[in-house]
Structure 1
């Protein structure tokens, strides 16, 4: 990762962790991905933008395997997703062979624009919903 991308990553993730995510998590209709912390074992809730297609939920991580929630998925793929205020259990899968930029064109516009603007290593994630 270039020095510019590293600085951008640190600035954006610091803002998200301290300001953005705590505020957005409070919105009742915000889509939330809940993973299990790979070190703490505690639930970790991250606001995400994605779309449900049948029994699958698709999203794109802006920082790929550097994203904390992606690292948590690698340790334990059992997740929950809150969609329109309702929780769904599922199993998350990283899909590196998917064209993440093309996938963003199928997801909510505002979030996709933000991911394209700040992302440095896009990675598609699919959650197979079971409940």
Structure 2
């Protein structure tokens, strides 16, 4: 039986296992679903994570539900060069982890369904804003 102190970590393990084994394999195949592609910090291989967020001008904004504990955040810390698939098109960019941004306020500006999921499944104290500066094509 998990102790009360293990609650958030147990929640993260359960949510992450469900996402890795069930949700992510399905969502990666949906052509118009948004994906973040990072480079694995250990393997060097591309890692594609389905997520939600919103493009605003030449930036893509998202909130990580488990913050620094998320594998894609750790990958961004190791190599901020990423790609984002938005509405079926890939865009290269540079990701910036923004610990000083208010993730709760940021969620109010992002798509409602995704924001509700992040609030419900994530750790309120662990939420973390990420901005991807997209490169424009010449």
Taking structure 2 as the reference length, the TM-score comes to: 0.93
Corresponding residue for residue 135 of structure 2: 130
Matched residue, 2:8: 5
Gaps of 5+ in 2: none
The alignment yields a C-alpha RMSD, in angstroms, of: 1.1
| TM-score (norm: length of structure 1) | 0.98
Partner of residue 107, structure 2: 104
CA–CA separation in structure 2 for the residues paired with 1:24 and 1:107: 19
Task: Please identify the structure whose Cα radius of gyration is greater.
Answer: 2
Per-residue deviation, 1:3: 1.0
Equivalent residues, number = 131
Residue 28 of structure 1 corresponds to: 31
Aligned mates of 2:54, 2:7 — CA distance in 1? 31
Unpaired runs of 5+ residues, structure 1, are none
